[in-house]
Amino acid sequence: MPQNELGTRVASLNDWYRLNAAHTVLQHALTGPDAGRLALVSSFGAESVVLLHMVSVIRRDTPVIFLDTELLFAETLVYQQELTERLGLTDVRIIRADPAEKAADDPDMTLHTRDTDACCALRKTRPLEQALRGFDGWITGRKRYQGGARAEMDFFEVEEATGRMKVNPLAHWQPTDVRTYMEENRLPRHPLVARGYPSIGCMPCTSPVKPGEDPRAGRWRGAEKSECGIHVVNGKIVRQGVNA
């Protein structure tokens, strides 16, 4: 679809659903004709269970893309399996980097120590782009309170680099909304949250967060990096949060 046409559709959707709840936005995106064929991209991280649960209620055969970087915490891999079974998700796609690219770019699994952006591109950005081929858009768990370029985010966006639609049902949620939803629906938390990990990525690049720190302070701590590159603006990684 031409970007100008998609932009018009996105603007119309945002006007129509501006005052609606997250569940309504997601239900329309998954069952209405306007958004096209969508996949939910989930890290199965600290807050992922909210959207995964909503999807399981609305349409549990929604494709769910899980990027296994092969550097994840063991707890994340177990949590992914447990949630998939508990929520009855029927189309979870576990995506990994191309073996030939890994052999060429990171044969000893140490690329993250030399070039974190290159490691994320190898293990996340390029595999995701491949996995999303054939989809008209994707669903994310991004929220305005996370700051940076997300602060003015709408429910529906145009991803300029690819011409796909991005759907952000939780855009207007606050941390209390996430906690309340999880408690009211008795959803299991990622086991690392209780151990001081409010934001969970790959094991080598994620550390515990002290009380009072930004929730993303443990991601690539000490580096000028706070995004893996999956979310870009005009083809460039947008630095956000504590490491911006």
pLDDT at position 234: 41
pLDDT at position 166: 93
pLDDT higher than threshold 70 for residue 43: yes
Rounded CA separation 201/197 (Å): 9
pLDDT-based confidence at 96, cuts 50/70/90? very high
List, in sequence order, every residue forming a beta bridge with 206; answer none if it has no partner: 219
Higher pLDDT, 220 or 137: 137
CATH of 3-243, one of 3.90.960.10, 1.20.120.530, 3.40.50.620, 3.40.30.10: 3.40.50.620
Instruction: Tell which residue, 117, 74, 58, 65, has the closest CA to residue 96.
Output: 65
Show me where the domains of the chain are located.
3-243
Percent of the chain residues past pLDDT 70, beyond the cut? 86
pLDDT at position 162: 87
pLDDT at position 210: 87
For 124-161, the pLDDT digits (tens) are 999 999 999 999 999 999 887 776 666 678 899 988 88
Rounded CA separation 12/17 (Å): 9
Rounded CA separation 220/59 (Å): 35
Cβ neighbourhood burial of 221 (10 Å; 0-12, 13-18, 19+) = middle
Instruction: Supply 211's token pair.
Output: 């009380």
pLDDT at position 224: 56
SS3 per-residue string spanning 63-92: CEEEECCCCECHHHHHHHHHHHHHHCCCCE
Known catalytic residue at 228: yes
Instruction: Tell which residue, 23, 17, 21, 20, has the closest CA to residue 50.
Output: 23
Categorise residue 58: left if φ over 0, alpha if ψ from -120 to 50, beta otherwise: alpha
Q: Are 232 and 161 in contact (CB under 8 A)?
A: yes
Higher pLDDT, 227 or 202: 202
pLDDT higher than threshold 70 for residue 242: no
For 84-93, the pLDDT digits (tens) are 999 999 999 9
Instruction: Supply 204's token pair.
Output: 């080598």
For 166-189, the pLDDT digits (tens) are 999 999 999 999 999 999 999 999
Q: Which of 120, 202, 205, 228 is catalytic?
A: 228
pLDDT at position 48: 96
Q: What angle do CA 106, 109, 115 make, to 5 degrees?
A: 65
User: What mean pLDDT value characterizes the chain?
Assistant: 87
Rounded CA separation 229/211 (Å): 27
Instruction: Supply 115's token pair.
Output: 């070039």
